[in-house]
Amino acid sequence: IRGGQASDIREHPWQAAITVYLPRAKSYNFLCGGVLIDSCWILSAAHCFQERFDENRLRVVLGRTFRLQNSSSEQIFDVEKYWIHEQYDDETYDNDIVSPFYSERIKRGLVRLWPQEQCVPEKLAGRLVTPNMLCAGDTRGLDDACKGDSGGPLVCPKNGRMTLMGLISWGDGCGKKDTPGVYTRVTNYTNWISSKIRAN
Ligand code: 4AZ
């Protein structure tokens, strides 16, 4: 998160950290964010899994405020299986390297949804924007998602509940004025998500 504020996992208990075992380091390393959407079901960004990691190398951590600090509220889960969307297109993820410079503590940022007519390549270094994406940003250009946040949730208050609207996906840099972050438009996938859960 660029800008934003230090937060506590209890403010967004659905936040997950996905970690991958690195044999050379003999340790689990942070891979991406995720969001708990049902018991035993996490949603994240497909580009985090482009390397097609074996399931037995992956772990999901819930309930932690600090990335490397155990907590009495944490729960760690093995991953049984994951599904990358059948139409996922990795073309537009040039240099999508994983940075090791992560915040040690969970953060939150405040952004506003952008009108779709302003969510266009002209605002995003010419990169393609599809109807499966949504834009959100801080009008002050301060708070924004950034490297390492991918797969984490964008939530909006709706009828007194926080509702999942987006998954952090990409952007043109971070925290640039008049440049939004780009998120997977989760509402386009409710049928896809339900079918995966139902079938498994
Ligand atoms: C990234 O590299 C990334 N400012 C995620 C979100 C944004 C930029 C980059 C949006 O994972």
Q: Is 99 a catalytic residue?
A: no
Q: Find out whether the beta carbon of 127 lies less than 6 Å from any atom of ligand 1.
A: no
* Catalytic option among 47, 143, 144, 169: 47
Q: Is this complex's ipTM strictly greater than 0.90?
A: yes
Any ligand 1 atom below 6 A from CB of 153: no
Residue 92 pLDDT: 65
Angle at 143 between CA 101 and CA 172, to 5 degrees: 70
pLDDT score recorded for residue 86? 87
Residue 147 is predicted with a pLDDT of 87
pLDDT of residue 37: 94
Q: Are 80 and 59 in contact (CB under 8 A)?
A: no
Spans of the chain, pLDDT less than 70: 92-100
Torsion over CA: 169, 170, 173, 177 (sign): negative
